[in-house]
Structure 1
């Protein structure tokens, strides 16, 4: 099984002056000055064949006056491929919680060596950025989280055309007519309070565990003026992230995929409207767009028909806006509160409250959880 972000095809056109000596000097400054400083420390045991591969890659990196070129860069690239492919099998051999941190570190080193080989050879930078992201997502921190520092340098040197193309692509995506906006009746409307003091919020909502819409508390955030879909494409369109795809994560077609931010924006509009609860407090901050939200008290849990499986025990089987009352007759007993959360508003969701969320526009939210 080949690891995502593995070897690309033949070398494409050079990435321009940024891929030359100035960029390499900037990248090289992120690494220890001498070969022995790159310790290759692992947090556990790995198979005996792995450490010689790591040492060979390190030797190639520090040979030839500190910049592998030509055959050395190609050899370093191949070693990165081998290390990623070998450790990828270990990462996918069982449950993630049982994966050794040492194998995740090996994968991170494979991504690091692969990315450095791309830069040293003067190849286009997008594959190197993807390798760094894969190491950050699937690997474990090495060399004081060098992959995070490296990807920041590489992203800053990406050709401007890459960023413009991502933004232009987002503007061309198909825009569908928005669904009808639900009517929130006054008797079920969530209470709203503007700029409460911490003491007022604590005494009236946090301690008694009562949901509330908070207004005016994030107006000062820079993102309220800067963030948009096109902005994300411009600043992070090239970055690889984990994405959940599907209408609901209880549906058979639901899946997870690693893809770039711009690919996700250009290909998918996702509304996840499953009813579930979290075992923590949550502040749900609406940055742009609108969301329709319903909240159900933990006291109504039985009336929401949670799935029986352990994995989905905190997820309702009911489609709350179109319930099957023959199959779920007690759902009609479940009382709810609702709101249409507007940009700049924050919803406090107490522990174990069931919440249903449906996007009414292309929207973006930020959530904070705490115990």
Structure 2
């Protein structure tokens, strides 16, 4: 009950929510019911069970309707108000589930966390005078350490070859912790890819993230988006929201030998995991090289941090990004194939807005009969190992395939 009451204390006030909803009468009825239940619980520790269950049903109906709206068409074109109401409803439903659990002496924390994570992933941030993001603060209050970690999860993951072999051949330059000035003059300004060594040796992530016990302790019951299938250009590719523990056990802890050919490859790819789970953000540092920018304004540089976690075989097809990218390998290794921007015309990008930044080719198996202009392309092929950063300048084409179980972090900036 203590956690439930603490969460109730940071809820947005009724007036703020009512002003957001405007003339949305159904939502306002639900909000009225919600605050009646919350106030009753605060003052007496009891609730009207019938009103609680009816309100939960109405919230579920509202969320189902908004889910269809949010998942129809391109996400960037979804009305912000619909996302805000989705987040509000997720928060309120989570609180009511906690109240129901406290009232009936049931453990509904996991169901509440599912609702809050849904609100985080698909909605908009909700603020409070003392809380910059209410949903994240609620999840922090609810997040507790898992004391019963199975013995199988206490050992480090087997990631095959983590360190660069002495005889490894790399087709781009490798340099040891260059100065910011050297990096800017020789790579950033010249738009030249480079591998940077010993620039992340101080990261706690290097010693923590390959231990399943740690990742499960921090992320176990959180909801994350995953990609299912070879890559996003494949017709059988799909996405889903799943509990982190379920995804992690399937892809990292199940016996690979018994599941070959039957296990679908799942990939937690290009996800802003670190804002969702701030504890992980404390394990990494924004590389100092991200302070270099071509912008002329004095605004603070915005660094977009993304997570890439998956088993051997996860693939990103040949594509380009518009921003500078430092791809940092925390554990495992990845096969990289690069091609310069000047070869864009020879790389057969898809038609249409959705995939215009993606090539139709299979970078590891070049088909010169189907794509004859590939004969003109200068490709750079190499492996990225644990503890290394790869600088990928804007509009450089890059293909990425995991050679082992792998966790990478990318830092994008302009």
- The bucket for the TM-score relative to the shorter chain is 0.7 to 0.9
Contact 1:44–1:100 (CA<8 Å) still a contact in 2?
no
* Residue number among 280, 285, 295 corresponding to 2:338 in the alignment: 295
* Residue number among 131, 135, 151 corresponding to 1:147 in the alignment: 135
SS state at 2:391 partner: strand
Deviation per CA, 1:304-347: give whole Å up to 9, x if none: 11112221111111112112111112212211223211111000
> What residue is the counterpart of 1:131 in the other structure?
115
Q: Are residue 354 (structure 1) and residue 397 (structure 2) matched?
A: yes
- In the aligned structure 2, how far is the partner of 1:146 from the partner of 1:68? 25
> What residue is the counterpart of 1:60 in the other structure?
37
> What residue is the counterpart of 2:6 in the other structure?
26
- In the aligned structure 2, how far is the partner of 1:42 from the partner of 1:213? 52
Deviation per CA, 1:268-290: give whole Å up to 9, x if none: 43511411111111001010001
- In the aligned structure 2, how far is the partner of 1:242 from the partner of 1:170? 25
Contact 2:160–2:404 (CA<8 Å) still a contact in 1?
no
CA drift of 1:146 comes to 1.6
Mapping of residues 31-46 of structure 1, within 5 Å: 31=11, 39-41=16-18, 43=20
Structure 1 residues 116 and 159 mapped into 2: Cα distance closer, same or farther (>3 Å)?
farther
TM-score normalised to structure 1 length:
0.82
> What residue is the counterpart of 2:216 in the other structure?
233
- In the aligned structure 1, how far is the partner of 2:199 from the partner of 2:370? 42
Mapping of residues 249-264 of structure 1, within 5 Å: 249-264=232-247
CA drift of 1:43 comes to 4.6
- In the aligned structure 2, how far is the partner of 1:317 from the partner of 1:63? 60
**Structure 1: 5+ residue stretches without partners:** 1-20
Structure 1 residues 365 and 46 mapped into 2: Cα distance closer, same or farther (>3 Å)?
farther
Single out whichever of 51-60 and 80-89 deviates more from structure 2: 80-89
- In the aligned structure 2, how far is the partner of 1:94 from the partner of 1:292? 33
Contact 1:276–1:354 (CA<8 Å) still a contact in 2?
yes
> What residue is the counterpart of 1:4 in the other structure?
none
- Corresponding pairs, count: 339
Single out whichever of 236-245 and 42-51 deviates more from structure 2: 42-51
Mapping of residues 198-237 of structure 1, within 5 Å: 198-228=180-210, 230=212, 231-237=214-220
CA drift of 1:177 comes to 9.2
Structure 1 residues 305 and 54 mapped into 2: Cα distance closer, same or farther (>3 Å)?
same
Structure 1 residues 345 and 329 mapped into 2: Cα distance closer, same or farther (>3 Å)?
same
- In the aligned structure 1, how far is the partner of 2:318 from the partner of 2:34? 49
Structure 1 residues 258 and 220 mapped into 2: Cα distance closer, same or farther (>3 Å)?
same
Contact 1:91–1:99 (CA<8 Å) still a contact in 2?
yes
Structure 1 residues 46 and 303 mapped into 2: Cα distance closer, same or farther (>3 Å)?
farther
- In the aligned structure 2, how far is the partner of 1:368 from the partner of 1:42? 37
Deviation per CA, 1:38-67: give whole Å up to 9, x if none: 631555656332222222222221124444
TM-score normalised to structure 2 length:
0.74
Q: Are residue 368 (structure 1) and residue 368 (structure 2) matched?
A: no
Measured on the aligned residues, the alpha-carbon RMSD in Å equals 2.9
